[in-house]
Structures are given as structure tokens and as C-alpha cells.
A and B are shown apart, each in its own frame.
Chain A
Amino acid sequence: MSRPELTGHASNFYNEREARKYNSSSRMINVQREITLRAIELLLLPPDEASLVLDIGCGSGLSGEVLEEHGHVWVGCDVSRDMLQVAHERMEKSYKMKGDDDKTEAEIARMKYDDDDDSDDDDNNVCSTGDLMHHDMGTGLPFRPATFDACVSISALQWLCYSNSSAQIPKRRLIRFFSSLYSILKKSARAAVLISECATAVGFGGGIVVDYPNSAKAKKHYLVLSCDRVGGRGQVPGMTAAGAVADQKQSQVQVGKQRQEKDGRKARPIRKKKGVKTKEWIVHKKETQRKKGKEVRPDTKYTARRRPRKF
């Protein structure tokens, strides 16, 4: 089976028929729900506060619904108009026919509040905390800097890796996406998105979390990005029932500091002596490697010391 990404633009693939199908497939709903729940867990949002969350590639609002249940306010972007249409209808409808599936405690608490409203007027989406926007993530996100508390993107980012016209260059679109994402998130906000070189290039810290690493079907890669430069909230929350967090690559990119030192460096470039690696050069190189997040041995008195002469 070929991947849907290869067939063309996302808005062509998710046409009206496909969007309805997507929204009515209980398997899809369950899968999306589960991934979103895990993504929310990875976001480390304060549980008792409502946060402003950006949902990139919200589709028919399945992930938004989960965010709503957790009491967050969300803004969803999607490139497919038909999917947004379905999401819109869903948001209006979901409050009419609520109260039939399993509910979490948070949901019940919210429902109580919702019911009060419904007794007054029946058919408006007053309680939905979501908002929708028709937008292509590859063109950069249209928001002011430092506005969002968190960002989720559930099975959407893979679309960025394919180009649909000669003007679209995947890497350019990826960088544009990540740099705009970096700017719109608040300090110490987190983004859970389901690609990583471009992300660290623009200054994110974080890594990839793999759930169920041994299963071919259930295996999921989460790219968790955080805006803290020093890694204050650096730990990854709990393991999932059957799988474990197998691979957690921590690479911190210190942006602000790097720049200052870069300026200093420009004034006096460090050249190595012909054929000889001086101590200065080695220490400098180790420092740059460290900043790139690589594992480097600590500087000791033995650093760059010459070996004793052989017999």
C-alpha cells in the first residue's frame, strides 16, 4: 500500500469523502485519541490550569476534542478545507449528543458546566473551546511571538516531507515551520509533534521518544521539543503500559550564549599551528562540540598534553 503522502497535496487527499470517512472510522478515532492523550502527557501542562494550545494539522478536530476534555483552549490549523468543515460540524454537534460514552473525571466536571449552558440555548457551540483556521504549516505559522503555551501535531508533520510542486522544497518548508513554531511558543513551552535535524537547527531542545519500540504496528515516534534552553522541565513523563521510553536523545542547543561567544570569536580567530593542534585549539573545539550537544570528555590537566617520548 502506498502512503497517502505520495498521492498529492493533503487538501486533495482529504477531500470531502475522505474527510467524512476519516471522521466516522472508529479505529481512526481511537488511534488519534490515544496518540493525543500521550502527546498531552508529554507536554507536561499544569493539570489545573487552562492552557492555550496550538493544534497543527487538526483535521476533523479529533485531537482538539481530547484537548477540550482536558479543559484547554485550542486553535487548530489545517490545510484541508473539507476536514475543517467536518471539524466545524463536529464542534456544533458534539454538545447536543453528549453523555453517552465513557467519561473522564475532568470531562464530567466540564459537562456539568456545559449542561448549565445547554438548558438556556440548545444549538450553539458555546462550550467548544476550539477555534479553526485554514492554513498550510509549510508557509510558517501566522501568529505573534510567544503566545502559545504548547503545541501538538498528531500525524500531520509527515506531509511536510513531500513536495507537491516544483516551488515547494521540503527542507525549506520544514525549517520555516520549525522556526515559526519556535518563535510563537512561550518560554519553557513544549511541543509534541509526531523530524529532528531541522528542529535543533532553529534552537529547540528535546528529543525523540519512542513508545512501544518492539512492535512494528504500535510503535510511535514522538518528537518532543522544548523551548527551555537549560532544560528545566527536561524529564520525560512516565512509561506507557506495555512499552517503555526506549530512546531519549537529549540535545540542548544554547542559542543566546552561543551568539555572544561567536562575536567574541570573530575578533580573534583561533588558528592552529601548522601541523600541531594547540591546547587553545583543542579546548575551543571541545567547547563547540559540547554546544552542539555531543558527548565530550571534560577538560582536565591532561587535555592536549603531549605524550611522553617513546624509547
Chain B
Amino acid sequence: MRLLTHNTMRNNSKEAKGMGFPFKITAAEVKVIDNPDAGATEERDIDFVKRMLPILEWTALVRAASECGISSLPHTLTTDLAESRPFLQALYHILMNVHLIKGMLTCPVTGREFPVTNGVPNMMLEEDECERVRL
């Protein structure tokens, strides 16, 4: 599971009341795919990161990255940084190339745990955990 995906996720169970993000990561195995020529990132990828910036929860990302053992992200995102190319390249690398292979995701509100195995998080909920729907 990528950090990008982690940043978009939330617990949608009834108890979480829509506030179930960001998940706390307990990492058992993290795979960072090192790409030596990170400088050769395509223009398209940089554009993608730029478009993702407004969506990202920055504090959540910084925390998730540090939980995966990466502490190179600044604590606050300034507009200067958002324009600088090396920063965007590094951010692309963190968002796309850091994979959580094995571990646990914990909901900050309810404390429900979602296991991650083989890089795939198990987000299955039981029917009685789901949000009520009026028919």
C-alpha cells in the first residue's frame, strides 16, 4: 500500500462518524523502491503531484512517513516548496515508491484495526459495522 493511498483512506464504519482518518500505521515491513535516477521523473509525474497537493492531508502524510521510517518531510508546506521541482520529485518518490507491505492500520477514533498483508490492506467491514442507510 502506498502512502498516497493511505492519505486518501478513512474508516467509514458507523462508529467513526466520518472522522476515521488518518490511520495510524504500525509498520512491520516497509519496502522503499529506490529509483537511482529519480531526477529523470517525467513532467507528467510532477504535474500529478502538483494536482494531488490540495487533496493531501499534509500533517497526516508527515506522520505516516515518519511511522514508515522517513523523516525528510518538512512539518509545514509552504508555497515556495510547492513550486520547487526537487521537492516535488522527492514528494513523488515518497508518495509512490514507499510501500507498506506488512503491518496494521489503526483507526484514530474507534481503534479498529485493519491488517495489511502482502501489501494489500484488508478494509472489510461486517454488515453491522456499516453506516445506517434509510431506505
Residue ID in chain B nearest A186 by CB atoms:
B55
New A-B contacts (20) at CB < 8 Å, excluding given A139-B127, A143-B9: A48-B44, A49-B47, A50-B48, A50-B51, A52-B55, A71-B44, A73-B48, A73-B96, A77-B123, A84-B120, A120-B37, A124-B33, A131-B4, A139-B12, A142-B9, A167-B127, A171-B135, A172-B133, A172-B135, A180-B12
CB neighbours of A135 from chain B (8 A): 122-124
Known: A131-B2, A144-B9. A50 touches B44 (CB 8 A): yes
Residues of A within 8 A of B2 (CB): 131
Closest partner residue, chain B, to A126 (CB atom)? B33
Whether A179 and B124, one on each chain, are in contact in the complex, defined by CB atoms closer than 8 angstroms, is no
Contact A134 B124 (CB under 8 A): yes
The answer to whether B120 touches A88, judged by C-beta atoms less than 8 angstroms apart, is yes
B51 & A142 in contact (Cβ 8 Å cutoff): no
- In Å, the complex CA distance between A88 and B42 comes to 25
Q: Would you list 21 pairs from A and B whose C-beta atoms are within 8 A, ordered by A residue?
A: A50-B45, A50-B48, A52-B4, A113-B40, A116-B37, A116-B40, A117-B37, A120-B37, A121-B34, A129-B96, A131-B2, A133-B1, A134-B121, A139-B129, A139-B130, A142-B10, A142-B123, A146-B55, A147-B8, A167-B128, A180-B12
> B97 an interface residue at 8 Å Cβ cutoff?
yes
Residue of A84, A113, A140, A169 near B131 (CB, 8 A) is: A140
Residues 107-149 of chain A, each 1 if its beta carbon lies under 8 Å from chain B, else 0: 0000001001100110011100101111110011111101110
B78 on interface, CB distance cutoff 8 Å: no
Q: B57 near A144 (CB under 8 angstroms)?
A: yes
